[in-house]
Amino acid sequence: MSRTIKLSVQLNAAPEKLYNAWLNSEEHSRFTGAEAVIENKIGGEFSAWDGYIEGTTNELYPNTKIVQAWRTTDFPDGSPDSRLEILLEPEGEMTMLTLVHSGIPEGMEKEFEHGWLDYYFEPMKNYYSNVK
């Protein structure tokens, strides 16, 4: 049985800036501090965190939503890709980024919840508090 997690963070950047950064190899690498390689298109492949994360971008809704097939090298053999939705909602000059990660292999949801918080949300909060 698979699991779903939903997490949100408010960031000091416009939705357009966050949308473009998520899909840009250099900017994604800068805000996480680890190498990312991203083909910015539907059907485009990506990897992040020096190859630990990989997948395919399935849906793009400019400046509001990104949907990706997503997996890590820790997924059990034979496990299907999980589904990652990145939702961007403007809040004044800030953006609420909500991440819905579903299809996580059972027993791995806490690991990924901590991973999103520690390796994405915290670095992004720090990065976007210093970038204008």
Instruction: Output the pLDDT for position 131.
Output: 63
- Amino acid, single-letter form, for residue 55: G
- Amino acid, single-letter form, for residue 87: L
Instruction: Output the pLDDT for position 104.
Output: 97
Mean pLDDT for the stretch of residues 71-97: 96
The count of domains in the chain is 1
Q: Which residue has the tokens 């890709």?
A: 81
Mean pLDDT for the stretch of residues 8-25: 97
Length of the chain: 132
In the three-class reduction of DSSP (H, G, I as helix; E, B as strand; rest coil), residue 83 is classed as: strand
Structural domain boundaries, residue 65:
2-130
* Whether the Cβ atoms of residue 104 and residue 112 lie closer than 8 Å to each other: yes
pLDDT of residue 9 exceeding 90: yes
pLDDT of residue 132 exceeding 60: no
What are the two backbone dihedrals, phi and then psi, of residue 130, each rounded to the nearest 5 degrees?
-110, -10
* Local confidence band at 118 (pLDDT 50, 70, 90 cut-offs): very high
pLDDT of residue 126 exceeding 60: yes
Residues 38-80: pLDDT tens digits? Answer: 999 999 999 999 999 999 999 999 999 999 999 999 999 999 9
Sheet holding 82-91, edge to edge: 2-11, 94-105, 82-91, 65-72, 53-61, 45-48, 37-38
**CATH number of the domain to which 29 belongs:** 3.30.530.20
